[in-house]
Amino acid sequence: MGLSEEEVTKLYRIRRTVFQMLRDRNYRVLDSEVNMSKQELKAKFGENMNRKDLTIQTTNKDDPSDKIYVFFRDDAKLGVSTIKTIKDLILTEGVYRAIIVVQNELKSKARSELNLFSEVRIEAFLEDELLVNVIEHVLVPEHQVLTNAEKKDLLSTYTVKETQLPRMLVTDPVAKYYGLKRGQVCRIIRHSETAGIYVTYRIVV
């Protein structure tokens, strides 16, 4: 049985945000995928589409070995066994990153399971978190993720230690959007009519 019209509309919006997020993480994304209309989505996947049909796989623009999968789950709750199955699936294909889009909040046991993997990184997003693109909100300033070399230069230039930088939680919506890990640094650019451009830095903890 396919999805209801309401679910199709919701997943259309979510899938568009996912493509924007992948593009902002430097993965290969076609403009046609980002700009696809709901009618085009229905034409591509048919009237009886379901969530698993919407799976995405792409590669990093600068590193073809960096591949990522995005899975949309039909099951109401994501269990530990399903997470392990997904881990085994991507590893057999030589993929070490995945995003799982889930309908409901993960139980603590399942969320802990995600953090146990050392060989792969699997992130979980609630569907409701992806209905709108968090970085397009008018109150969210521009964020730029620093490379390791840029981070080193920053600490050297200002003669500060990592612990002296303002912090951003790894669970922060913007940190989640960019897939940031602890220790990474963001340059945050705010535009003000009175102060012009105001730049700050935050480290993910």
109 has a pLDDT exceeding 80:
yes
Domains contained in the chain, CATH given: 5-132 (3.40.1340.10), 135-204 (3.90.940.20)
pTM of the model: 0.91
Average pLDDT over residues 3-29: 95
Task: List the single range of 3-7, 145-149, 168-172 with lowest mean pLDDT.
Answer: 3-7
Q: In this predicted model, what pLDDT tens digit does every residue of 60-76 receive, in sequence order?
A: 999 999 999 999 998 88
- Strands (E) across 103-179 are located at 121-126, 142-145, 167-168
User: What is the predicted pLDDT for the residue at 158?
Assistant: 93
How many alpha carbons fall within 13 Å on the CB side of residue 142? 9
- Looking at residue 199, its pLDDT comes to 93
Phi then psi for residue 56, to 5 deg, are -120, 140
Residue 150 has pLDDT above 80, yes or no: yes
pLDDT band at 164 (very low <50, low <70, confident <90, very high): very high
Look at residue 1 in the predicted model and tell me its pLDDT. 59
- 80-107 burial, b if ≥16 CB within 10 A, otherwise e? bebbeebbeebeeeebbbbbbbbbeebe
pLDDT, position 32: 96
Mean pLDDT, the chain, whole residue set? 93
Predicted confidence (pLDDT) per residue in 111-139, tens digit:
999 988 888 999 999 999 999 999 998 78
Supply the pLDDT for residue 139.
Answer: 83
